[in-house]
Structure 1
């Protein structure tokens, strides 16, 4: 009888462990960007508390050229803490958090355009705050989405594989590397087809092959389907 061995389960490699120039640059932008914006918000929040502003005043006081009250100072410090925690956690987390916070800043800016000089202006916004929120929101979105949204990502970008395959990084099965020359050729062809589909330049055969692999969650499974249909 022939003994069947189970392939060794390999731990998933986190995208931030990829030692390439592109991977390093993407992670640095996400983490340093989060730290930098957090520092600005923290200074704004601390200055608000030092100035002894009323917590719920809709008139507010002036802090670094912006209007503020105690509630806005508190929110600024909490937001800064969240960004710092995300940056400490890692580049991917920092990018996701910055994107979410950036959207929140933009929504806040548009909301306060409608409630300026009303009793609903509980954060004591002025027009300068609206402009500041738009600028910071766009900055956070730019930093958070850096390295994620282009369809022409370089080979060593840590987000390229997830973008091309639609994977969330939560696959339960291990990603086993190609073991033979045929599997390596198949994987190169798979990658080219997946990228071609995302860039809307794929051939009919490439689209058909990518659709055939769509139900597979792991790279090994997609490679197996590719080899069966090629």
Structure 2
């Protein structure tokens, strides 16, 4: 069974990464809402915000997700851990699904290949931040370290 690190020393760095991604997504969403306000919700026009194609629906979802990630990054407990894991999976799944329908009328979020790539990168970074952002008691962290440094575990490295 794999063990997720508890109280990882680089946890503040991972929180900052998550917060920066959240801030970018929030700014992208707000700017996208202003860019696409007169268009239809699922418009397929060539509107861009911060270099990525968007429409009003995708911009509104980005505002919500950006705020969600900023809230998660600002929390000290495991809420941010679970929020980052969830957001990472959502970004990865969404990017794969939107890549599958990129050149069809089912591309309702108006993705381009660059949007797919950025979403995949954000998903991978958020998944990594979620894996290393777990908080626990000092006893739990010490027990986790003992398990990792156990002589039986040494032979499996």
Which bracket does the TM-score occupy, shorter chain normalised? 0.7 to 0.9
Tell me the TM-score normalized by structure 2.
0.76
Q: Does 1:71 align with 2:71?
A: no
What does residue 40 of structure 1 align with?
A: 24
Whole-angstrom distance in 2 between the partners of 1:75 and 1:59? 18
Which segments of 5 or more consecutive residues in structure 2 lack a partner in the other structure? 1-5
- Does structure 1 retain, via aligned residues, the 8 Å contact 2:69–2:84? yes
User: Structure 1 pair 193/126, CA: closer, same or farther in 2 (3 Å)?
Assistant: closer
Distance in 1 separating the partners of 2:142 and 2:98: 35
User: Is 1:107 matched with 2:93?
Assistant: yes
- Note if contact 2:81-2:133 (Cα within 8 Å) is conserved in structure 1: no
Cα deviation, 1:77-113, whole Å, max 9, x if unaligned, reads 1001111222233253212211211111111111111
Q: Does 1:93 align with 2:79?
A: yes
Secondary structure of residue in 2 paired with 1:199: helix
The equivalent of 1:196 in structure 2 is 150
The unaligned stretches of length 5 or more in structure 1 are: 1-14, 149-156, 166-190, 203-230
Corresponding residue SS for 1:56: coil
